[in-house]
Structure 1
Amino acid sequence: MTDARNRWAAPFGWIARAFRVPGEERRNLVQTTKAAVAAVLAWIVATSVLELPQPFLAPYAAVFLVQATVYRSLRGWAQQVGAVSVGVLLAAGAGQVIPSVTVALGLVVFTGLLVGSWRGFGDSGVWIGVTGMLLISYGSATEPILLADRLLETALGAAIGAVLNAVVLPPLHGERLRAATSRLASAIADVLDETAALVRGGEPPEAADRLHDRMRDVRSLVAEAEDAIDWTREGRYLNLRGRRETREEPLANLVTLWPPLAQLIDAVSEAARSEQPFRHPGEYARGVVGELLEALAAVTRSGDPQRLDRCRELVGEIDHLLVTPTDEVTTSIGLGAMALPARRLVQRLHAD
């Protein structure tokens, strides 16, 4: 009963979040509304202003040009108009020289889809074959006026969709960036805390296996972060609201932590599982490394660069242990294998 109520309430919860939170739900609602408005405007202009007969391509093109970024809308306009133009020319040529509609249809679709596979047309390449097919099947391929109408209504609808998307609340992707930053920072900090516990000896060696599972989760979040950065950069391009977009530098800096973090986990796991030459160093040295990792976790969570001072002090203490052997540092190779990626983590956090 509870599950059924939750399913019925889900759409209302989605709408409530769209109005309450400036997140993905609101962006989707705005884009959907703009697509509907663009379709209506394209239909009104095509029918009432230009008085085009059966201008079904105008609203169709308008809807597809309200895309996720302004750049994609403007690029899509050029690609779509180009694709439809080629489709119209193919249909006109086939209609003039091939008397059989069946043969002309097959040839136009084949040629159109083949030409449309060129990457310069992007996702609009399929329109070459589709436009030619529609014109041939409707018997419009031999009527120049109708061919011109199809091209005009497509250009009109695409232009309305692209302009509306660029002028009215052009889409940004800052919430995706903020969410990816929060998830990745939290995951890296958790892994650093777990690694610190393993270094100190508070976890069994089997914990290294669980740590590697967590690292696969982090790697997935890194891929998500890279995708969010790409969307944010593209969304800012040619966008009238681009200056208001969230900066991607903090997330990009977190992404750079992945290689040294993976190296650190490998060094700690090897030390926890095996004997020489990567045996754990003595208790005091393990405590210093553990404290460093916990401090790095705190910096990652808070984003406070002032906490890095303590991290640098601990890195200096590890360096001192490496060059000043004591009875506790039984294996300097193992400590050195942990120290190098830990140092790189401090350096990359400091670069932010």
Structure 2
Amino acid sequence: MAGGIRWTSPFAWIVRVIRVPGEERRSLIQITKATAAAVIAWIVATAVLRLPQPFLAPYAAVFLVQATVYRSVRGWAQQVGAVSVGVLLAAAAGQLIPSVTVALGLAVFTGLLIGSWRAFGDSGVWVGITGMLLISYGSATEPVLLADRLLETALGAAIGAVLNAVVLPPLHGERLRTATSRLASAIGDVLEETAHLVRGGDDPEAAERLQERMRDVRSLVAEAEDAIGWTRESRYLNLRRGREEREEPLANLVSLWPPLAQLIDAVSEAVQSEQPIQPPGEYARGVIGELLETLAEVARSGDSEKLDRCRSLVEELDRLLVMPTDEVTTSIGLGAMALPARRLVQRLEAD
């Protein structure tokens, strides 16, 4: 079986690239652009500028084809800045320190220290590495070679950043769509299970299973927040940003998490313990159960007619809460469930 997976997975990956505009296709596009950027940078550096050993040009080009256009532009500034500081550091060490060993050690230490500055980001390590390479190659005392290294890096980084921004600039709509679908389905399932638990009465094991499902939902909420962040970043400086998916439906689903968690806690408390919260009466449980089932349908589909039904059921819960009753603890249990249920309806109305 393991051998079958190894042989069939590449084929399945290619099929998904062709059939589905998702993560696999985006990865293939980025890989192709990185390859093209490296080749173009090498051709320009060798055939046009005739730079000697311009290995930094294709290297920088590959690393500047980033997941978003914004990261490519920011990475270009950070990479060029880090290499520039590294070149100056190597030049100073080469001129002032006769010993190559001492100069190399000082350049690495000072470069890594300077590179830890937040403004350099992930490129900060190249301050020390650039200084080390130039000193070890014997280029630190030759101004022309130092200038060549800086030119190679700026050229390669610029080619990678421009290619990433102009040719099919990356968007993350598929991540947004996937996260929306998964979270909506998970919230709908949890609401339906909660409705079944409310109607079924005393079932501590079911309450424990529901808590486990809620941890799954929390994980999907974190994934959704990450997808929203990537989507927002991918719009910056992106020529295709007008075609991106709307993030509001997913953001609205994420906003359901706090009242959903409160509702599950209230239901679990009512089911697992006798005091201070007891389950409401049979009719009230039926109203809450129907409300949760209807909310599940709205979370999955956004059906406005179903949302109208949710409002009516919330009004019925309000009526039950103000009715005179001798069952004080039952009223407490009903109120504990009704408040987060109302908030769920309000959040879905905002969509």
TM-score normalised by L of structure 1: 0.98
Aligned position for 1:214: 213
Can you list the C-alpha shifts for 1:74-104, whole angstroms capped at 9, x where unaligned? 0000000000000000000000000000000
Whether contact under 8 Å (1:288, 1:314) holds in the other structure is yes
Matching residue of 2:88: 89
Question: 5 Å matches for 1:260-279?
Answer: 260-279=259-278
- Equivalent residue for 2:232? 233
Question: Partner amino acid for 1:115?
Answer: I
Equivalents in 2 of 1:118, 1:330: separation in Å?
59
CA distance in 2, matches of 1:73, 1:87: 21
Report if aligned partners of 2:228, 2:247 keep a CA contact under 8 Å in 1.
Answer: yes
Q: Aligned partners of 1:255, 1:330: CA distance in 2, in Å?
A: 32
Equivalent in the alignment of 2:280: 281
Query: Which residue is 2:53 aligned to?
Result: 54
Matches within 5 A, 1:93-242: 93-201=92-200, 204-242=203-241
- 3-state SS, counterpart of residue 299 of structure 2: helix
The offset of 1:7, in angstroms, is 1.7
The structural deviation recorded for 1:305 is 2.5
Distance 2:83 2:258 in 1: 47
Code of the residue aligned with 1:101 in structure 2: it is V
Q: Is the 8 Å Cα contact of residues 56 and 152 (structure 2) preserved in structure 1?
A: yes
How many angstroms apart in 2 are the aligned matches of 1:202 and 1:20? 47
Matches of 1:148 and 1:319 in 2, distance apart?
76
Structure 1 partner of 2:321: 322
2:201 touches 2:271 (CA, 8 Å); kept in 1?
A: no
Query: CA offsets per residue over residues 244-265 of structure 1, 9 Å max, x none?
Result: 0011100000000000000000
Q: In the TM superposition, what is the alpha-carbon distance from 1:330 to its structure 2 partner?
A: 6.4
Q: Which amino acid aligns with 2:340?
A: P
**Deviation digits for residues 22-77 of structure 1 (CA, Å, limit 9, x no counterpart):** 00000000000000000000000000000000000000000000000000000000
Are the equivalent residues in 1 in contact too, given 2:201–2:279 (CA < 8 A)?
no
Q: Secondary structure at the match of 1:206?
A: helix
Task: Name stretches of at least 5 consecutive residues in structure 2 with no aligned partner.
Answer: none
Is the Cα–Cα contact under 8 Å of residues 34 and 61 in structure 2 kept in the other structure? yes
Task: Assess if the C-alpha contact under 8 Å between 1:277 and 1:331 holds in 2.
Answer: no
Alignment check: 8 A CA contact 1:283 1:328 kept:
no
User: In the comparison of the two structures, how many residue pairs are matched?
Assistant: 351
Q: For 2:204, what is the secondary structure of its paired residue?
A: coil
Aligned equivalents of 1:60, 1:305: Cα separation in 2: 53
Amino acid across the alignment from 2:54: P
* Aligned: 1:33 with 2:67: no
User: Structure 1: which 5+ runs fail to align?
Assistant: none
RMSD: 1.2
Instruction: Output the CA distance in 2 between the equivalents of 1:328 and 1:307.
Output: 31
Match of residue 75 from structure 1: 74
SS of residue in 2 equivalent to 1:139:
coil
Give aligned-pair identity as a percent: 83
Q: Matches of 1:202 and 1:340 in 2, distance apart?
A: 20
Higher mean displacement: 184-193 or 273-282? 273-282
Q: Secondary structure at the match of 1:332?
A: helix
Segments ≥4 residues shifted beyond 2 Å: 325-330
